[in-house]
């Protein structure tokens, strides 16, 4: 079903900052990541872009309170986040080369932690009905699924997608592109039984970076073969460490593509 849904009406306050990185580079992306990541993982990420360590937002559940996929939604040149969180960390956001739109949304336990956890795929938003902020629902046509944590449940790349969620897989297939379905589990997320594939990696160019060792995942070989068939290369950022869900990365480039 294609139709936008109004979750919470909001007023918009737009903050436009167009900046390059300190070294003047127009190539290296900004990588918004969980600032509590292990040091070795942050160090590995820094080889692919400038890491921006997201501070925890105490109103979100503690294990995921610094996860980028819960803290913000970025579609290339515009980033949406909680109004209060923006006010607390304005200097961090204003240093980014995007337009920042703080939204006065309530933050808390589910479902108030999934406002920004919407999956942008082939020009559409995939998310749970009633939980997509109005401004995003007006920006894109929507497909509704039962899964509230849509973005962290899926890893989109190049118009294709990897997920263990059957509802998201069906919605993605309806939009075209290749879809690989995984077995749920085998991804570490402290405080929960397991994490999700979308939170366990990020995409930079034609590389899929995994937060851990892909060889430790039971579907690792399938993932690598699937990515290769689409012209992408899988990179394990750590060796002999199971994949960990850190909320992925919000990737911001100076010449961003949605």
3-state secondary structure of 93: helix
Quick one: CA dihedral 149, 154, 158, 159, positive or negative?
Answer: negative
Total domains in the fold of the chain: 1
3-state secondary structure of 163: strand
CA–CA distance from 88 to each of 33, 52, 56, 82 (Å)?
17, 15, 11, 10
4 lies in some domain? no
Residue corresponding to tokens 């509802």? 167
Q: Quick one: 175 exposed, middle or buried, by C-beta within 10 A (0-12, 13-18, 19+)?
A: middle
47 lies in some domain? yes
Residues 6+ positions from 174 with CB-CB distance below 8 Å: 143
What are the 10-residue block averages of pLDDT along the chain, 258 residues in total? 38 49 64 97 96 98 98 95 98 96 98 98 97 97 98 98 98 96 96 97 97 98 98 98 98 63
161 lies in some domain? yes
Q: Which domain holds residue 34?
A: 26-252
3-state secondary structure of 41: helix
Q: What are phi and psi of 145, to 5 degrees?
A: -135, 170
45 lies in some domain? yes
pLDDT at 253: 86
79 lies in some domain? yes
Domain of residue 187, CATH code? 3.75.10.10
Of 133, 134, 171, 127, nearest to 150 (Cα)? 127
Question: What is the chain's alpha carbon radius of gyration, rounded to the nearest angstrom?
Answer: 17
118 lies in some domain? yes
86 lies in some domain? yes
């Amino acid at each position: 079903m294609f139709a936008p849904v109004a979750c919470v009406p909001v007023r918009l306050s737009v903050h436009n900052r167009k900046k390059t990185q300190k070294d003047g580079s127009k190539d290296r992306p900004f990588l918004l990541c969980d600032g509590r990541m292990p040091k070795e993982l942050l160090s590995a990420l820094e080889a692919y872009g400038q890491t921006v360590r997201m501070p925890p937002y105490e109103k979100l559940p503690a294990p995921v309170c610094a996860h980028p996929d819960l803290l913000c939604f970025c579609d290339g040149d515009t980033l949406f986040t909680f109004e209060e969180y923006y006010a607390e960390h304005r200097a961090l956001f204003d240093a980014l080369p995007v337009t920042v739109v703080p939204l006065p949304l309530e933050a808390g336990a589910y479902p108030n932690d999934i406002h920004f956890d919407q999956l942008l795929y082939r020009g559409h938003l995939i998310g749970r009905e009633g939980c997509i902020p109005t401004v995003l629902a007006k920006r894109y046509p929507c497909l509704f699924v039962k899964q509230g944590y849509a973005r962290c449940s899926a890893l989109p790349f190049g118009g294709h997608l990897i997920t263990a969620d059957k509802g998201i897989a069906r919605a993605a297939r309806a939009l075209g592109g290749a879809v690989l379905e995984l077995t749920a589990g085998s991804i570490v997320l402290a405080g929960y039984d397991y994490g999700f594939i979308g939170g366990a990696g990020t995409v930079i160019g034609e590389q899929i970076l995994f937060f851990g060792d892909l060889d430790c995942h039971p579907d690792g070989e399938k993932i690598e073969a699937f990515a290769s068939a689409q012209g992408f290369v899988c990179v394990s950022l750590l060796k002999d460490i199971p994949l960990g869900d850190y909320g992925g990365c919000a990737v911001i480039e100076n010449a961003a593509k949605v």
